[in-house]
Amino acid sequence: MKVLVLDVGGSNLKLRVTGHEDRTKIPSGADYSPERMMADLKRATDGWEYDVATVGFPAPVVDNRLATEPWNLGTGWVNFDFEKEIGKPVKLINDAAMQAIGCYDGGRMLFLSLGTGLGSALIDDYKVIGLELSRLRYSSKYSLEDRLGKAGQEVSGRKKWEERFHRTLKMLRMAFVPDYIVVGGGEAKRLRNAEDFRRVDNMAALEGGERLWNDERFKL
């Protein structure tokens, strides 16, 4: 099945279709709307053929619908009918969960994405569970996102940020008892010590969007 995968991020819209090697990257931003996305999509995919689509989105998704507006894009997303506008069957999924699928290798995997914010998902025997672990406490004053997101890194510097990351990983390993932990996202490459996790690049997101349709073992 030919899958169009859209990865809607706070800085860029990334897209690819099964069979193409390259991905297309188009700037998004804090006022990015569904209408602009559709216009970008039409220009970028002119002449492409695909049967179905996956849309990865930086917000929690429940029953193929966005549960909240994304905090780092424009508005109008919650009630946007992706399936109608794209004109193909669409699976809507949290962006971290999509990336997690792209690097899943069986068992129980905890996935974290270090970007502007902190994304997270758990996959256990191909059952994909979108999580918002960014909302967990790092201390009584700060959340994990406060301390591990880009803002937290800028405030206290890379080194302290990395120390906090490894401390958090230890806590999450005890709480979720995963077989392995995978870390992706644009900031992951800034971690110097990668002994306690596997690192993955951002192409995993586009692969995840394809696998979600083409590997029937995955359940949302």
Asked if residue 1 binds a copy of itself (CB under 8 A), the reply is no
Question: Distance of CA 21 to CAs 78, 96, 113, 206, Å?
Answer: 31, 22, 23, 11
Q: Which two tokens stand for residue 166?
A: 């490894």
Judged by CB, which is closer to a copy of itself: 13, or 212?
212
Among 22, 125, 195, 216, binds a copy of itself (CB under 8 A): 125
Smallest gap from residue 200 Cβ to a copy of itself (A): 22
Sketch the per residue contact string, 153 through 192, with a copy of itself: x for CB under 8 A, - otherwise. ------------------x--xxxx---------------
Report d(CA 113, CA 187) in Å as an integer: 8
Q: Which run of H or E residues covers position 114?
A: strand 108-114
Among 130, 152, 185, 208, binds a copy of itself (CB under 8 A): 130
**Contact (CB, 8 A) for 34 and 14:** no
Smallest gap from residue 190 Cβ to a copy of itself (A): 23
Residues 67-96 that bind a copy of itself (CB under 8 A): 67
Question: Distance of CA 124 to CAs 46, 95, 111, Å?
Answer: 38, 18, 11
Smallest gap from residue 115 Cβ to a copy of itself (A): 18
First to last CA, the chain: 18
Smallest gap from residue 72 Cβ to a copy of itself (A): 17
* 179 Cβ neighbours under 8 A, 6+ residues apart: 106, 107, 108, 109
Residue ranges that bind a copy of itself, judged by CB under 8 A: 60, 62, 67, 122, 124-125, 127, 129-140, 171, 174-177, 219
